[in-house]
């Protein structure tokens, strides 16, 4: 749950500050990777994101679960970025995870109740997997 919640905050920050969408990811307890539609990736970029990520986590934002009518979800630009339109049409309302000011997406998973519960996160690796395909690995301390 901590690792999953950390990924929400990571995706929200990279979207907010670098306009980059998440294109993939994988997670196991304590460690995860996330792929971004980014042209460049470097160890320096990883450190910058790590600082922002830990600041956001430490700000102790509540992780809220809400149910949004489908029509409303499809009209929300924050949700369009996470391809909310691909959720089967029969799903209405749509379950959402909202981390105030950081991330909002359709999600059926389990999370901690507040970002502070995640603890400290390290960016342990940054890799280029191709054009507009960059990968970041994190570890939850």
How are strands ordered across the β-sheet holding 103-106? 63-68, 94-99, 103-106
- Closest CB to Zn ion among residues 106, 136: 106
The residue (of 76 and 107) whose beta carbon lies closer to Zn ion is 107
Q: Which is nearer to Zn ion, 41 or 140 (CB)?
A: 140
- Residue 130 Cβ vs Zn ion, minimum distance, rounded to whole Å: 26
Task: Show Cβ contacts of residue 73 under 8 Å, excluding neighbours closer than 6 positions.
Answer: 79, 84, 93, 94, 96, 106
> Please, which residue, 29 or 109, has the CB nearer to Zn ion?
109
Residue closer to Zn ion (CB basis): 22 or 41: 22
Q: Are 102 and 7 in contact, with CB atoms under 8 Å apart?
A: no
Joined together, the tokens standing for residue 90 give 């029969």
Q: How far is the CB of 5 from Zn ion (least distance, A)?
A: 7
Min dist CB 108 to Zn ion, Å, is 8
Minimum distance from residue 112 beta carbon to Zn ion (Å): 10
Q: What are the E-state strand segments in the chain? A: 22-28, 31-36, 63-68, 94-99, 103-106, 121-130, 133-140
Binding site for Zn ion (CB under 5 A): 97, 107, 109
Question: Phi/psi of residue 64, each to 5°?
Answer: -105, 145
Instruction: Give min distance, CB of 31 to Zn ion, in A.
Output: 16
């Amino acid at each position: 749950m901590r690792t999953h919640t950390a990924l929400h905050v990571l995706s929200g920050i990279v979207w907010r500050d670098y306009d980059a969408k998440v294109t993939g990811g994988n997670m196991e307890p304590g460690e995860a990777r996330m792929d971004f539609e980014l042209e460049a990736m470097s160890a320096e970029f990883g450190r910058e994101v790590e600082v922002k990520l830990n600041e956001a986590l430490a700000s102790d934002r509540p992780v809220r679960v809400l149910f949004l009518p489908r029509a409303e979800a499809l009209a929300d630009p924050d949700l369009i970025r996470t391809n909310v339109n691909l959720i089967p049409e029969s799903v209405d309302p749509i379950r959402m995870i909202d981390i105030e000011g950081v991330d909002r997406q359709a999600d059926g998973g389990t999370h901690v109740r507040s970002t502070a519960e995640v603890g400290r996160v390290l960016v342990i690796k940054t890799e280029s997997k191709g054009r507009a395909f960059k990968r970041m690995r994190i570890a939850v301390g």
